[in-house]
Structure 1
Amino acid sequence: MIQYKPVLPIFYNKSTLELAQNLLGCVLVKETEEGVASGYIVETEAYMGPDDQAAHSFGNRRTKRTEVMFDQAGTVYTYTMHTHTLVNVVCAGVGIPHAILIRAVEPLDGQELMGVRRSGRPKKEWTNGPGKLTKALGIKMDDYGKHFMKPPLMICEGWPTDILTIQAGPRIGIDNSGEARDYPWRFYVADNPFISK
C-alpha cells in the first residue's frame, strides 16, 4: 500500500486563493472499514466567506451547518446538497469563515473499491465532480469537524505544484449569487481527464 505523508499544518497558513491552487496535486485519502481510497486533487473552488455571495457564510452567517467554517484552517467541512455529500477544506484564520470545495480527484489507491462504490460508471466518471468523489472515496457527513492532518480523512503530499499547469475560471452551479458567480475562483489542472464538466 502507498505510504501517505500528511501535509504539515503550516501548509494551510496561506491566503484562500493561494491554498485553493496549492491543494491541486495533493492526495485526498479516506480510510474506511472496507479499505483505503485516495486520489490526486485536480479541481478546487474557493469560497471567501463574509464578502462572497456564493459562500454559505456570506455576511458572517453562523448556523449549525456553517459553524465549522469559523474553526482553524485544515478542518473538514462536509455538507449535503440534494443527496450528495460535499467536502471542503476550512481555510483562513479562526473566525474567518472561508472554505475550499474539492471538486474533482484523479483516482489513485483503492480503485477496485471505488469501482464498486461507483458501480456501472466508467472510471472517468467515478470522481469527476464533488458529489461523485465523496461517494467513490467513502467520505460522509460524519467526517464534519475532523482535521485533514490525521486519519480517517487526510490531505497528503502528492505531485509537486511546480510541474502542474493550473487554470482558473468561474465557479460552477452558483447562478443565483449575483456578481460572485463570475469570480474566477475555480482552479484546475489543465487537460486532466477527471475535472468536472
Structure 2
Amino acid sequence: MKLTREFYAKETLQVAKELLGKVVVHEVNGVKLKGKIVETEAYIGSIDKASHAYGGKKTPRLEALYGKPGIAYVYFIYGMYHCFNVITEKEGSPEGVLIRAIEPIDGIDEMSKLRFNKVYNELTKAQFKNLSSGPSKLCIAMNINKENNKQDLCSGNLYIEESMDKEKIEIIEAKRIGIDYAEEAKDFKWRFYIKDNVWVSVK
C-alpha cells in the first residue's frame, strides 16, 4: 500500500525515522524496482544551514522544496549525480527527507544493469554491496532523475509503500554526511539508519 499524504505531512524528523523499513518503488518499462529504505537524513529549511532553502531562499530549482508534502525533490550534484528527497510537513515550509541508502529487494537485475551495466550474477561482492548504498548510487540503480522532480509520490510510478516485513528495527541517530560548511547544523543528529544493515552508506 502506498504511503498517504498524511504520512508525509507529519513532523520532518518523525517522517525521517518512520521511512526506515519502508519500500521505494519505481515502475520503469514494466519492471518494478524496489528497495527497502535503510538510511535517511532530515532537512528543515527554517533553522538548518545545510538546507538548500535556509534563510527562506527561493529559486526555480528549489520550487519542489516548497511544495506539498508527499512530492519528490530530485536535484543534481557535482554536475553528474542525482539525489532523491521527499517533501514533508506542509506546503510552503521547505522541509524534506533525503533517501540516503536502500537495500535492493526486487528488479535487482535491472538495477545492476543501470548501475554497472551487468546483471546481478556478474557483480562482484563489492559491486553488489555498492549497488545502492548512497544517495546518488540508489538514484542510478532506481533510475531516478530530474524527470522525477515534483512527482507526486502518492500517485504515479514512483512511490513509497509499506513493507510486508514486520521485523522490528533499531534506529541509530547520527550526524549528517558532507555538510561541514553548515556551522552548528553539521552537528545535528538528523541522520537515521537501521542498525547493522550492510547497505548503510556510513556507520
- Scaled to the shorter chain, the TM-score interval is over 0.9
Aligned residues: CA RMSD: 1.4
Between the aligned residues of both structures, percent identity stands at 37
Runs of 4+, deviation exceeding 4 Å: 159-162
Distance in 2 separating the partners of 1:137 and 1:67: 23
CA contact (8 A) 1:44 1:188 kept: yes
Give the TM-score taking structure 2 as reference length: 0.91
Q: 1:17-75, CA deviations, whole angstroms, 9 ceiling, x for partnerless residues? A: 00000000110011112622110000000001121000001001111111111111111
Matching residue's letter, 1:174: I
Tell me, which stretches of 5 or more residues in structure 2 are unaligned?
117-122
Q: TM-score, normalised by structure 1?
A: 0.94
> Which stretches in structure 1 are left out of the alignment for 5+ residues?
none
1:168 paired residue number = 173
Checking the alignment, whether the CA contact within 8 Å between 2:9 and 2:70 is kept in structure 1 is no
Partner residue, 2:194: 189
SS of corresponding position for 1:59: helix
> 1:130-155 deviations in whole A, cap 9, x for unaligned?
00000001111110111111221101
Residue 81, structure 1, aligned to residue 77, structure 2: yes
Q: Summarize the alignment of residues 138-153 of structure 1 with structure 2, pairs less than 5 Å apart.
A: 138-153=143-158
How many residue pairs get matched? 193
1:97-176 pair list within 5 angstroms: 97-119=94-116, 122-158=127-163, 163-176=168-181
> Once the 2 structures are TM-superposed, how far is the Cα of residue 118 of structure 1 from its aligned partner?
1.8
Q: Does 2:42 correspond to 1:37?
A: no
Cα drift, residue 92 of structure 1: 1.1
Matched with 1:14 is 10
**Would you say the 8 A contact 2:71–2:151 is kept in 1?**
yes
Q: 8 Å contact 1:29–1:38 — kept in the other structure?
A: yes
User: Which residue does 1:90 correspond to in 2?
Assistant: 87
